[in-house]
Amino acid sequence: MDATRILAIRHGETAWNVDTRIQGHRDIALNDTGRWQAAQVARALAGEPIAAVYASDLLRAHATGAAIADAARAPLHAEPGLRERSFGELEGRTFAEIEAELPEQALRWRKRDPDFAPEGGESLTLLQARIAGVTARLAAQHLGQQIVLVAHGGVLDVLYRLSTGQALQAPRTWQLTNTAINRLLWTPEALTLVGWGDTQHLDRASRDESTA
Which one of 25, 62, 84, 201 is the catalytic residue? 84
13 is in an annotated binding site: yes
The answer to whether residues 158 and 164 touch, using CB atoms and an 8 Å cutoff, is no
- Mark whether 25 is an active-site residue: no
Say if residue 11 carries a ligand binding annotation. Answer: yes
Q: How far apart are CA 165 and CA 207, in angstroms?
A: 35
DSSP 94-133: BHHHHHHH-HHHHHHHHTT-TT---TTS--HHHHHHHHHH
Active site residue 62: no
- Which residue is catalytic, options 11, 62, 142, 201? 11
Has 21 been labeled as part of a binding site?
Answer: no
Q: Which of 10, 58, 67, 3 is nearest to 35 (CA)?
A: 67
**Residue 10 assigned to a binding site:** yes
125 annotated binding-site participant: no
Q: Is 108 annotated as ligand-binding? A: no
Residues with catalytic roles? 11, 84
Binding-site entries: 10-17, 60
Binding-site entries for substrate: 10-17, 60
